[in-house]
Structure 1
Amino acid sequence: MAPHLGQNTGQDTGQTDISTSQSAIATYLDAHIATERFMGAVLVGRRGEILFSQGYGMANWKHSVPNTTHTKFRLASLTKQFTAAAILQLQAQDLLDVQAAIATYLPDYPNGDRITIHQLLNHTAGIPNYTAFPDYATQKRLSMSVAEVVAWFKDKPLEFEPGDQYRYSNSGYTLLTHILETVSGQPYAEYLRSHLFEPLGMTSSGYDTDWDILPHRASGYDLTDTGYGNAEFIDMSVPTGAGGLYSTVEDLYKWDQALDTEAVLGDRAKAQMFAPTVPVSEAGKVYYGYGWIVAEQLGRKHITHGGAIDGFRTIISRYPDEQVTVIVLSNVSSAAVAEIGAGLAAIAFGEPYQLPRVYQEVAIDPAIYAGYVGEYQLAPEKILAITAESDQLLVQLTGQGKLKIYPTSPTHFFLRIVDAQLTFEIDEQGQAQKVTLHQSGQDLPAPRMPQ
């Protein structure tokens, strides 16, 4: 589908007027709802005013409770910015120094004399990421204290010399949680409540627990080929200060606005938080600060972070020079929140954007599938395996599960669960010689491998 151009009617602001933006945003989000891959709540703010804020889909399918702007979503890794802010508050109180070795505060931690708090904050400490451990799928179902989560990874060897490279690690932010509790003398949840949430009037934010009765709590879902299903269970003690908070879009906008003042962080602390301390990729222009990614998007400075936890996808994007903020919280694991957020920002700026396309399945003769079954080389270590079961074609990428694909023509197929399509190139005998994967704006050819 061709890009849709936003109508720029602002006065030398590069931004659309309010009514045009609101209408375009509503149309854009309705299109994403139609794909079934998104539901949740969205807020777009501009210069201190809420331009658009609305809930979509269901917070709880079982009880027919809709999502609203008051719905509480698990934030996943958006939690990290709050953990970083709390650490910087403690530094401002002279209770710690981010350049100090963590052995200063946790004297028994292995290699603690080689690792600094700064390196934990920007993912350069080399501590293995516990959410990537082989036993994570079983361990995440257990109730654990912060000390027990730390014990899970503390004795594993470092992946590299601290400070040598960037590698995202939830373990580092769990260790920051442990340091925060040790230095402040308060549990993590209580510290954030009293030092961040209450001062900012964030009454719908806190640390999630499985035993608390939390009004307006969203349930997390996975999209399957037969509809929505409950996401896999995770005991919320496990994410700690790396991913354990919940909030609403409106509370997060209070947080966003506070970051432009000295309500909870002084100028020095904010300068440290948003400093581009380490490149995230070799491509450059994308850096990690303290709990935030500092980059460029749509030709503008872009301060952002995303999050993913069972049944939830989240993102907050700040464009500080234009004072525009986009917040997307979803309780569907397939939600492309980064794409949605970028589209919303483009609308706010009057830049080009693209509506998602909804594909319709057509009936074709399943006898042709025999010519498509096989393996296709997508990358040196990535194979697309095409199989046929019960008159249904399926695709499986190396390391992932099988997904059904649905025809829009004899050679073009789409996936329901993710925004991706496949096009087969066939010879005169109906044998596929190549398949092209269309995803994330890329066309990735995969030639058929010899049998």
Structure 2
Amino acid sequence: MKVFNVFFALMITLITADAQTLKQYPTEVKKRMNKVENNLGGWVKIQDSTGWNIRARMAYYHINGLSIAIINNYKIEWVKGYGWADTALKIPVTSATLFQPASVGKSIHAVGTMKLVQDGKLDLNRDINDYLKRWKFPYDSISQGKKITTLQLLSHTAGLSVHGFDGYKWGQPLPNIIQILDGRPPANSPAVRSLFEPGTKFEYSGGGYTISGLMDEDITGQPYADYMAKTVFNPLAMTNTFYYSQLTAKQKTNLATAYRSDGKDIGCKYHIYPEDACGASLWTTPTDLAKFIIELQLSLENKSNKILSAATIRQMFSPQVGKDNAAGFFIEQKGNDKYFHHDGLNEGFVADYYASVKDGNGVVIMANTDLAAYIDITEEITNSVATVYGWKGFYTPVLKKEINVPDSITNKYCGKYKFRDDSEQSVTIFKKNGKLWFHDSSSPSPWLMHFSSNTDFFFYEVVFNIHSFTTNAKGTIDGFMIKAPDGSFKVKKI
């Protein structure tokens, strides 16, 4: 009886939270919210089918908690949390739950750094060693005599190593920023060094952003977290955004717990990151990130310039070397419109946002889950938002007609397949509840197979590939072909 009462109380809590969320919005907004929640879609859309439900997709991906903020016409239209911030303690996600946005924080760092540029304290095109005081970048022959600039750090064109950072479990000693850059204990990452000549191509580097954070401290004479709070968080009323060192004991009780892609925890409540500038140590909410995005959108229209001018933001949004990597942002053309965005992945957390350069539209998504969902559900939710809110040309799925293939045919497809004779990677195709399932040994869970003909099949999980069963001279199934954008190959049945 006690267990039932606890469960009943928890359900009442969740239902009440949902009711309160809905109560505060006008009818038209609630209708759009409902459509977003029930219209999720991937790269392919099956004719005459409806979109996925957000809670069903969370269950499919083993996502415990998720939070969304929608921007419409330069305003936050609605915010909502789903699922659990902590499954063991049964704490539901609310609009105030803090998540780690991971590399999304690079956009915020770039704005703080560009404020120094705008104020004349930093030249984007000068050698970074002109500004570094406590540590100097150790140039070597790899850089071909070329000097690294701040613009290259921010656009990932500096030719530097260290893609990202793993963080530290509770109780582990934490390195300082110099130890991180030199890869010295207790740092668990290698030294940040040159991989190739700067300014020649794109190479994502969280290490480069860590250098940029040290520069900001050396230029301002302030701790990085203090400078960012004063320059970005406070002017935009981002009252639920903190670097880990800024969190109070009370605020830590509102942090979401980190989980793997299978829904299990990472071995501690969350990892601690001493790398502030690359976004790893940041905690925030979709609401606060939406405030940040709206400020950039309004600044471009010269309607609010609390931090940066329109000219400075346009400079930030200019791609460098690559076609979409700008200073702190990635710029994408969708239809006739441009969008700025960034995503992020920490141990047990994912985040993503898309925002239009014009017209003030956007979406922010954060979840306490790991890599698998990073590839899928954030894109599916964004596609739904784009559809419901009429972002023309943003979501253009491949349209397919699914057919029912007789058991007399599908039964022949069941069995084991191998990519190469000398490879351990294999595929098992099996039938469950009358449906065929495809389980790659390298994947944590099987995929449902959808047929567009008696031999051709596709997956929601694999983008743009075409799969076709093949037969030998005797008419026996001997494998299947994978026709991918970058080539085709056969997987043999064994």
Bin of the TM-score, shorter chain as denominator length: 0.7 to 0.9
Which structure's CA Rg is the greater one?
Answer: 2
| 1:395 counterpart = 2:417 | no
Aligned residue number for residue 193 of structure 1: 229
The offset of 1:300, in angstroms, is: 1.2
Q: How does 1:53-64 map to 2 (within 5 A)?
A: 53-64=79-90
How far the C-alpha of 1:314 sits from its partner, in A, is 1.0
Q: Contact conserved, 1:371 with 1:431, CA < 8 A, in 2?
A: no
Of residues 309, 319, 323 in structure 2, which corresponds to 1:266? 309
For the Cα contact (< 8 Å) 2:210–2:277, is it kept in 1? yes
Query: Aligned partner of 2:418: which letter?
Result: G
Question: Is residue 74–residue 208 contact of structure 1 (8 Å, CA) maintained in 2?
Answer: no
What displacement does 1:178 show?
Answer: 1.0
What's the CA shift for 1:115?
0.8
- Indicate which of 191, 216, 219 corresponds to 1:180: 216
Deviation at 1:163, TM superposition (A): 0.6
Q: CA deviation at 1:156?
A: 6.1
Which of 446, 456, 480 aligns to 1:405? It is 446
> Please, which runs of 5 or more residues in structure 1 have no aligned partner?
1-16, 280-285, 356-363
Higher strand proportion (structure 1 or 2): 1
Q: Percent identity over the alignment?
A: 22
Question: What stretches of structure 2 of length at least 5 have no aligned partner?
Answer: 1-27, 41-51, 141-145, 184-188, 299-303, 399-406
* 2:158 matched residue in structure 1: 125
* Deviation of the 1:385 alpha carbon: 2.3
Shift of 1:93: 3.0
Q: 2:379 aligned to 335, 338, 341, which one?
A: 338
SS at match of 2:340: strand
SS at match of 2:273: coil
Match of 1:349 in 2: 390
**Conserved in 2, the CA contact under 8 Å of 1:436 and 1:443?**
no
- The alignment partner of 1:79 has SS state of helix
Deviation of residue 231 (structure 1)? 3.2
Equivalences for 1:51-450 in 2 at 5 Å? 51-106=77-132, 108-111=136-139, 114-131=147-164, 143-152=174-183, 158-208=194-244, 213=249, 214-224=252-262, 228-231=263-266, 235-243=271-279, 244-259=281-296, 260=298, 261-279=304-322, 286-333=323-370, 334-335=372-373, 336=376, 337-349=378-390, 371-375=415-419, 385-386=426-427, 394-396=439-441, 401-405=442-446, 425=469, 427=471, 431-434=477-480, 436=482, 446-449=489-492
The reply on whether 1:26 has 2:37 as its aligned counterpart is yes
Alpha-carbon shift at residue 370 of structure 1 (Å): 7.6
Instruction: Output the amino acid matched with 1:434.
Output: F
Q: Take 2:231 and 2:67, find their aligned partners in 1: how far apart are those partners? A: 26
Structure 1 296/450 Cα, relative in aligned 2: closer, same or farther at 3 Å?
Answer: same
Name the CA distance, whole Å, in 2 between partners of 1:18 and 1:211: 34
- Matches of 1:382 and 1:209 in 2, distance apart? 46
- Contact kept, 8 Å, 2:71 with 2:363, in 1: the verdict is yes
Displacement, 1:161? 0.6
Structure 2 SS opposite 1:265: coil
CA offset digits 1:410-451 (Å, max 9, x no partner): 9999999x678996726477644115599xxx8986412598
Cα separation, 2, equivalents of 1:150 and 1:52: 41
d(CA) in 2 for partners of 1:139, 1:57: 25
Q: Secondary structure at the match of 1:106?
A: coil
- Distance in 2 of aligned mates of 1:45 and 1:211: 27
In structure 1, C-alpha distance between the alignment counterparts of 2:411 and 2:349, rounded to whole Å: 39
Between the aligned partners of 2:242 and 2:423, the Cα distance in structure 1 is 41
Q: 1:148 to 1:303 in 2, by over 3 A?
A: same
Counterparts in 2 of 1:375 and 1:102: CA distance versus 1, 3 Å: same
The correspondence of residues 31-42 of structure 1 with structure 2, limited to 5 A, is 31-35=53-57, 36=59, 37=61, 38=63, 39-42=65-68
Note the C-alpha offset of 1:116.
0.9
Give CA-to-partner distance per residue, 1:43-65, whole Å, 9 cap, x none: 11112333332111111111111
TM-score by length of 1: 0.76
SS at match of 1:315: strand
Please give the alpha-carbon distance, in whole angstroms, between the structure 2 residues aligned to 1:121 and 1:353: 31
In 2, distance between residues paired with 1:387 and 1:64? 37
Aligned with 1:373: secondary structure? strand
TM-score (norm 2): 0.70
The CA distance in 1 between the partners of 2:240 and 2:331, in whole Å, is 27
